[in-house]
Amino acid sequence: MTALKAKDMAAGRMQSSTAKSVDWWRGAVIYQVYPRSFLDTNGDGIGDLKGVLAGLDHIARLGVDAVWLSPFFTSPMDDFGYDVADYRNVDPIFGQLADFDAIVEKAHRLGLRVIIDQVYSHTSNQHPWFEESRQDKINAKADWYVWADPKADGSPPTNWQSVFGGGAWEWESRRQQYYLHNFLSSQPDLNVHNEEVQAALLDVARFWLDRGVDGFRLDALNFAMHDPALRDNPPAPREGRTLSRPFDYQLHVYNQSHPDIPKFIERIRKLTDEYDGVFTVAEVGGPNPLAEMKAFTAQKRRLNSAYNFSFLYADKITNDLTKDALRAWSGEADEGWPSWAFSNHDAPRAVSRWADAADATRAAKLYAMLLLSLRGNAFLYQGEELGLPQAVVPFEKLQDPEAIANWPLTLGRDGARTPLPWREMAPNAGFSAGEPWLPVDQRHYPLSIESQHNDEHSVLNFVQKMIDLRKSSPALRSGDFNFVEDADDLLAFYRNLGDDEALCVFNLGKERRNWRPLSEHRLKRAISIGVGDDRDAVPGELAPLSGYIALGKN
């Protein structure tokens, strides 16, 4: 695509954005596509961009606002695309830039925005920047990565540990120095303190904005800067926990979360503000990420939103968990806008974490109702609309380096990354004509898109109805929230915007509960799970794993 055509594409997006749609993302439902497992069109067993193009109709039918594409960039795939070797190109296993341009064009035609990952904390060791940087200490990119001399005894500069196991430093004989890698040793950390590096990353962002993308998810953003003084991390309190990785033995005070990261974020925001309607969301992991999430999204001159981990690794869903997560984002002045996800490509699927297999269908509907009623953006991971359980992947079929390194203490990520089932009766559930890169779980075949599309009681059709309800209710999409404190072990809260009101009530437990709201007279039940068939009455009794949303006017 020519530069002129790219500029025209971006201009088309901006011209279609009215003042009202600049904040299209506030309360949006965003569907995450993991391209490798979405749909394979060439029979090599790996999903591709042409598969994403073909599958956009399914995504649009759901009624979501946007699609987020996990990495498709040129990469050796040591970490399946999060090890980028060329930020400005498509890896051949996924297709070509023209395929990405076709996705943007079709998505916009279908009313979908397009969000892509940006990985600014590290690259692949096959990236030309690193290949130059590693040669010696005097080349033009010598300071583009985090290099450090060994200690006097030849050991690494600090005690920092890698997320994927082992020390976070790798020796480079040509420079007689170590380089930092917070993840795999083939993922060297960029020196984002260096303003030349920042400028290069901003140029990458501009490249994709000029191709028409509508937003960025900024991967592992709190790893983008390190402590230049190279101080050792202190040990983490054990607190009776079973630790599976050396990484978990430390408090990560110095290898991440540097206080200068927000300054770089402000440069990102300044760039994205040159384009209308661009959405930015930070991924901020860690055991206590709230302060960083607030800092990264503060004052309307940083990012729009932060991607919350409150639910992603929770062993169970509880009233207290939900209340604590929502109260942390109460809408105070200068606060960013939250984004919520129950499942994604890195976390075991929620329906398997939180519910028994016998309750999976009902639980999947209930969790979708809860996710889509929270104040903030809702991220829906591919297959979540089908209620897919976590796939079982035998050890010999594992691909995830984290799962292999930590076997069998962690579930790993492969069980959430198996192919999306399209047709029950087709080989590999219609995902690919060839052998898939990960096996299709046999339990996923009858949960296929085709099967559920034709079943009015399916999880798929329920999720679509719930998204339609959210879009039709200003209160559900972007209203304030207030918890009902006397709801007798139920999770109950009001969403309000102007005179529009929604009461959301959930019984997440295993015991039957009785409760009626004081304002019942002005409410009409709009959607429910497991509470009976009288859709005009607010129920007084809620069975286990049941809930309802009642709409009304103040």
Could you write out the three-class secondary structure of 108-127?
Answer: HHCCCEEEEEEECCECCCCC
Residue whose C-alpha is closest to residue 277's, from 30, 104, 21: 21
- Does the annotation mark 456 as catalytic? no
Element (H, E) at 527: strand 523-529
Q: Tell me phi and psi for residue 235, to 5 degrees.
A: -70, 150
Residue 170 known to be catalytic: no
Rounded CA separation 133/121 (Å): 16
Beta strands per DSSP E along 58-149:
66-69, 73-74, 86-90, 113-119, 147-148
Contact status, residue 296 vs residue 336, Cβ threshold 8 Å? yes
C-alpha to C-alpha distances, 474 to 30, 192, 373, 497, nearest whole angstrom: 17, 40, 11, 6
Quote the CA–CA distance of 448 and 456 in Å, as a whole number: 14
**Which residues lie across from 529 on neighbouring strands?**
547
Instruction: Show the tokens assigned to 325.
Output: 């997560």
Q: What is the bridge-based pairing of β-strands 113-119 and 147-148? A: unpaired
Q: What angle do CA 497, 335, 549 make, to 5 degrees?
A: 35
Q: Residue 459 has which token pair? A: 């999880």
* Edge-first strand listing for the sheet containing 491-497: 480-483, 491-497, 500-507, 546-553, 523-529
Helices 97-109 and 3-16 cross at an angle (nearest 10°) of 20
CA distance 152 to 159: 14
The catalytically annotated residue of 170, 219, 276, 441 is: 219
Environment class of residue 412 by beta-carbon count within 10 Å: exposed (0-12), middle (13-18) or buried (19+)? buried
Residues 6+ away with beta carbon under 8 Å from 287 = none
Nearest-angstrom CA–CA distance, 316 and 220: 25
Q: Residue 61: in which H helix or E strand, if any?
A: helix 49-62
> Which residues, listed in sequence order, are joined to residue 114 by a DSSP beta bridge?
67
Radius of gyration for the alpha carbons in the chain, expressed in angstroms and rounded: 24
Q: Tokens for 251, please give them.
A: 């408090």
Among residues 136, 266, 274, 480, the one annotated as catalytic is 274
**Active-site residue set:** 219, 274
